[in-house]
Homo-oligomer: A and B are copies of this chain.
Amino acid sequence: MTDDEPFSANPALLPAGLSDLLPPEAAREAALVEAMMAVFASHGYERVKPPLLEFEEGLLTGSGAALADQTFRLMDPVSQRMMGLRADTTPQVARIAATRLGGAPRPLRLSYAGQVLRVRGTQIAPARQLPQLGVELIGVDSAEADAEAAALGVEALAAAGISDVALDITLPAMSPALLDAAGLEGAARQRLARALDRKDAAEVAVLAEAAGPPAIFLTGLLAAAGPADGALAALRAAPLPEVPRRIADNAADVVAALRRRLPGLRITLDPVEFRGFRYHTGVAFTLYGPGRTGELGRGGRYMSGEEPATGLSLYPDAALRAAPAGPAADRVFLPDGHDPSVAARLRGEGWITVAALSSADDARALGCTHELRGDRPVALEKE
């Protein structure tokens, strides 16, 4: 790279997985984030803003441990201690709740929005910087709390213009509880867990049969995945041991609490799924957009330090792909020598103004739809 060619000499301008958001997407993403944060605020969630960098011990405890190998680290020249660049915001909110807001009344409702960074992307999710926003509802362990967090996700996405969202509930503790109840350990447990992970019904049937009851329920529960009402009926009908029974009853309570909030919501339930929810202690859920828009957020029950909590994260980059783009705003060109007070009035009415800085500036080239003539905008003819 030389001074004469400051940027052109290098074809790979940005590291893999790091990208620029350009107009108009950057403005759209910011507007979606603030629309969703406004929904959280309207439900009493108060915003916190932890720093991007902090000591790694703070970032990597609790729910953060799951992301230890995805966290960029650097040495703090001031303290000579290692810091991490956050890969998730939840551990930071847990730290704030346990320390500076330790004395605040519970349930504590907090929200956040910001960037997270990851050491490596994956093939289907190559981005290494992701916008993230969400809520944490801390100090309460109830189906009502889980339903509030999940319903907030649906309402926030609707505020971003994304309706027809579906909610998929999983019970990450169910499969381990059934394997525990069957007394399965070691290689036999691992084989069955892997078969569940692959959703290989035939293999699960063979292994669960061999393991004997109560592992045998896994076969039926794997088949029960689908619309929540059917899955809940299958859970109700199965003569489950104590711990799996509690997990199943709690799932029914969460679905009922969600139905009271959002009667029309499409809810699916996958009782034996446990992938990707490494720190969840109760129900977990994923929000899907319509069509092929994919995963828009997830959440569920976890431990925030020593306290029961439930949370929700939404992915504004995915919401940006799923949300319909509005029409481009009208832009009015202000010729040389225009009246600044007229321009100010137009901006007050919602116009975007683009001022000429010399007589060479061209209204159409600058993307203007109108030009100020006298005291009113006149539409430019299409060329």
For A134-150 the 0/1 string (1 means CB < 8 A from B) is 00000010101100100
Judge if A15 is at the interface, Cβ distance under 8 Å. yes
B-binding segment of A187-195, A214-222, A265-273, A351-359: A351-359
> Are A366 and B58 in contact, CB atoms less than 8 angstroms apart?
no
Contact of A26 among B34, B48, B145 (CB under 8 A): B48
Q: How far is the CB of A343 from chain B (nearest CB, A)?
A: 9
| A356, B79: Cα distance in complex, Å | 44
C-alpha gap A232/B100 in the complex (Å): 52
Q: Which B residues touch A14, using CB under 8 A?
A: 51, 54-55, 58
**Contact string against B for A residues 18-62, beta-carbon threshold 8 Å, 1 for contact and 0 otherwise:** 111111101101100010010001111011111111110110011
**Interchain CB contact under 8 A, B353 and A6:** no
Q: Is the CB of B352 within 8 A of A41?
A: yes
- A327 → chain B closest CB, angstroms: 15
Which residues of chain B have C-beta atoms less than 8 A from A100's C-beta?
A: 20, 22
**Contact A77 B15, beta carbon cutoff 8 Å:** no
Nearest B residue to A15 by beta-carbon distance? B76
Q: A246 near B: Cβ within 8 Å?
A: no
Q: Mark A211-233, 1 if CB is under 8 A from B, else 0.
A: 00000000000000000000000
- The answer to whether A113 has its CB under 8 Å from any CB of chain B is yes
Contact of B13 with A58 in the complex, beta carbons under 8 Å: yes
Specify how many copies of this chain sit in the oligomer. 2
Contacts of A1 in B (CB 8 A): 57, 61
For the complex, is A161 an interface residue (Cβ under 8 Å from B)? no
Within 8 A of B (CB), among A82-140: 83, 85, 92, 95-96, 98-101, 105, 107, 109-110, 112-115, 117, 119-120, 128-129, 140
In the assembled complex, how far is the CB of residue A163 from the closest CB belonging to chain B, in whole angstroms? 15
Evaluate contact between A52 and B52: CB separation under 8 angstroms: yes
Question: Which residues of A331-370 have CB atoms within 8 Å of chain B's CB atoms?
Answer: 331, 340, 347, 351-355, 357-358, 361-362, 365-367
Q: How far is the CA of A274 from the CA of B15 in the complex (A)?
A: 36
What is the bound-complex CA distance between A324 and B115, given in angstroms? 28
B41 touches A7 (CB 8 A): no
In the complex, chain B residues whose CB is within 8 Å of the CB of A114: 115
Q: Is the CB of A57 within 8 A of B10?
A: yes
Asked whether any CB of chain B lies closer than 8 Å to the CB of A17, the reply is: yes
Question: Does A305 interact with chain B (Cβ within 8 Å)?
Answer: yes
CA distance A117 to B107 in the complex (A): 33
Assess A347 versus B42: contact at CB under 8 Å? Given A34-B34, A49-B21. Answer: yes
A110 to B74, CA, bound (A): 31
Interface centre among A6, A37, A54, A100 (most CB of B within 10 A): A6
Known pairs A6-B98, A27-B47, A44-B353; list 10 more (Cβ under 8 Å): A7-B305, A15-B83, A18-B51, A18-B54, A20-B48, A21-B48, A44-B352, A73-B74, A74-B74, A107-B366
| Residue contacts A-B, CB under 8 angstroms, 16 given | A7-B98, A7-B305, A8-B98, A13-B58, A15-B53, A15-B78, A19-B51, A20-B100, A21-B48, A27-B41, A43-B347, A53-B129, A105-B366, A109-B354, A114-B115, A140-B357
